[in-house]
Amino acid sequence: MSKPSIPKGTRDFAPDVMARRQWMLGVIRSGMERHGFVPIETPAMENLSTLTGKYGDEGDQLIFKILNNGDYLSGVEVGPWESRDSKAVLPQISKKALRYDLTVPFARFVVMERHRLAMPFRRYQIQNVWRGDRPGRGRYQEFTQCDADIIGSEDPVCEWDLLLLFHEVLQALGVQGYEIVVNDRRVLAGLAEVWGIADRLTAWTVAMDKLDKVGPEGVLQELADRGFGAEVCGRVGEMLAAVTGRDAHARLAWLADVCGPAGEAGRNEVAWLLSRCAAAGLGSEHLVFDPTLARGLNYYTGAIFEVRVPGAPVGSICGGGRYADLTGIFGMPGLSGVGISFGADRIYDVLEHQGGFPPTAVAGPALLLFRLEEQDLDLQLQRLQAARAAGISAVLYPDVSKLKKQLKFASDTGVRHVLFQGEPERLAGQVAMKDMVSGTQWLLPEDGWLAALLEQRAAV
């Protein structure tokens, strides 16, 4: 028999990792709920037609398709079969696929449920998504997204609300040194307009999106490679030089100077957001206006967000933005929304890198009861029940065996307290309790150990 394994790019989560993930996801969920978002879940499997064409050609390639059940080849037409063309055969043998993100399923959900949803609708969704990306450091084929969206309102108060949600959650998680970066697609469109490249906005922003990785020189090289003229490259170069530093007002002033009325609505909203966020405690230490921020997805139409942790071993840990027409792809045009996504797996990596998980985020029972003598079983079962009824996670070592073996098990599982009663303790009407961390051991009256344990735990 071959050694069992799991597919590349997927992971088992052992109890220690699970405890930290549960704590982290709980903090994110609790922040979202405090902001009035309500949960939904959508199926792992969507109709293939729901997903294809939504993520570009490259995205379509990365969607995991599910083979039809049964004799899936029986319905394949002769033409595609004889062509032996994977693309032509695909729709004949697969009707379902795995969710690729949470945004498209959310848009589909809104369209299907539109008569039952009060608008504006605020939903959160914490589920896994699957992508056939080449596995690598921090890149998995199954990972967890945590999305919060407000749909059905164009008011920038929604953006303010989401920026504060980023801030509150990242504060509660204890992430060090994060930067919430904002920009506005209209600011970028304004620059493109005055530079005469409005028709090539996407090509320009795609090149600029790589600024973090390749630097200003790299961006200019890529623009030249993409056929942008020397004049445009010169202007982009000026811009990249002008917007260094973190003074948002200087950046806005430079843009106003260069663009005039073009992009003014975007600049005004950025200025409004910066001032309202500062008033709410989210100032320039954590909130940065960066007019070079582009975000790859082209459904964004207004504000765009990204959260970075300079020096951390991953790229951006969160993202988001406003979209004027997400549900249009499902036949319900004109519904504006804004959303953000927490990348749980990357936030986990950052917290691990920073040593940021709280010592309480551990798995496993708090109390282990030993079994030293056959005859003590009934008493130990009663004690086990009493501890659990008091809310303490407790287990009984299932076999009668040597004290040393049971102590080793306690140490291996990381349990904090153990309780036992050997012959000497039994004859004295006492039980022994030991704190495995401090090594302290107590002899307690048989009816007093639970109160003593609760007191110990409250003091820890």
Which listed range, 45-53, 177-185, 194-202, 262-270, lies at the site for a copy of itself (CB under 8 A)?
45-53
State in angstroms the smallest separation of the CB of 445 from a copy of itself: 23
Which residue stretches of 260-310 are H helix?
264-279
On the question of a cis peptide bond just before residue 120, with omega within 30 degrees of 0, the verdict is: yes
Got the DSSP string for 160-172?
A: HHHHHHHHHHHHH
Among 174, 358, 391, 445, binds a copy of itself (CB under 8 A): 391
Q: Which string of x and - marks every residue 404-443 that binds a copy of itself (by CB under 8 A)? A: -----x--xx------------------------------
Q: In 286-384, where do the E strands start and end?
A: 287-289, 303-308, 318-323, 337-343, 367-369
Residue 89 sits in the site that holds a copy of itself (CB under 8 A) = yes
Which listed range, 59-67, 217-225, 242-250, 427-435, lies at the site for a copy of itself (CB under 8 A)?
59-67
Among 57, 58, 115, 118, binds a copy of itself (CB under 8 A): 118
Give the Cα separation of 132 and 148 in Å (integer): 24
Backbone angles phi, psi at 404, to 5 degrees: -60, -40
Among 35, 139, 353, 457, binds a copy of itself (CB under 8 A): 35
- List the interface residues with a copy of itself, window 392-411 (CB under 8 A): 392-396, 398-399, 409
| DSSP category for residue 119 | S
Between the CA of residue 340 and those of 2, 35, 152, 397, what are the distances in Å? 43, 13, 15, 46
Six-digit token pair at 272?
A: 């409004």
| DSSP category for residue 178 | -
Q: Which residues pair with 143 in a beta bridge?
A: 129
Among 56, 77, 112, 249, binds a copy of itself (CB under 8 A): 112
| DSSP category for residue 386 | H
| 196 contact partners, CB below 8 Å, separation of at least 6 | 232
State in angstroms the smallest separation of the CB of 297 from a copy of itself: 20
Between the CA of residue 100 and those of 65, 89, 416, what are the distances in Å? 11, 21, 42
Q: Which string of x and - marks every residue 331-360 that binds a copy of itself (by CB under 8 A)? A: x-----------------------------
Backbone angles phi, psi at 434, to 5 degrees: -130, 135
| 119 contact partners, CB below 8 Å, separation of at least 6 | 151, 152, 153, 335
Count of residues of this chain found to bind a copy of itself when the rule CB under 8 A is applied: 106
| 124/195 with CB nearer a copy of itself | 124
Which listed range, 67-75, 298-306, 315-323, 426-434, lies at the site for a copy of itself (CB under 8 A)?
67-75
Cβ pair 284, 182 in contact under 8 A:
no
Backbone angles phi, psi at 259, to 5 degrees: -100, -20
Among 202, 385, 438, 440, binds a copy of itself (CB under 8 A): 385
Which listed range, 11-19, 194-202, 243-251, 252-260, lies at the site for a copy of itself (CB under 8 A)?
11-19
Among 24, 27, 54, 96, binds a copy of itself (CB under 8 A): 96
Cβ pair 169, 370 in contact under 8 A:
no
- List the interface residues with a copy of itself, window 281-310 (CB under 8 A): 281
Q: Which string of x and - marks every residue 164-203 that binds a copy of itself (by CB under 8 A)? A: x---x-----------------------------------
Which listed range, 174-182, 199-207, 236-244, 278-286, lies at the site for a copy of itself (CB under 8 A)?
278-286
Give the Cα separation of 367 and 387 in Å (integer): 8
Which listed range, 104-112, 189-197, 346-354, 437-445, lies at the site for a copy of itself (CB under 8 A)?
104-112
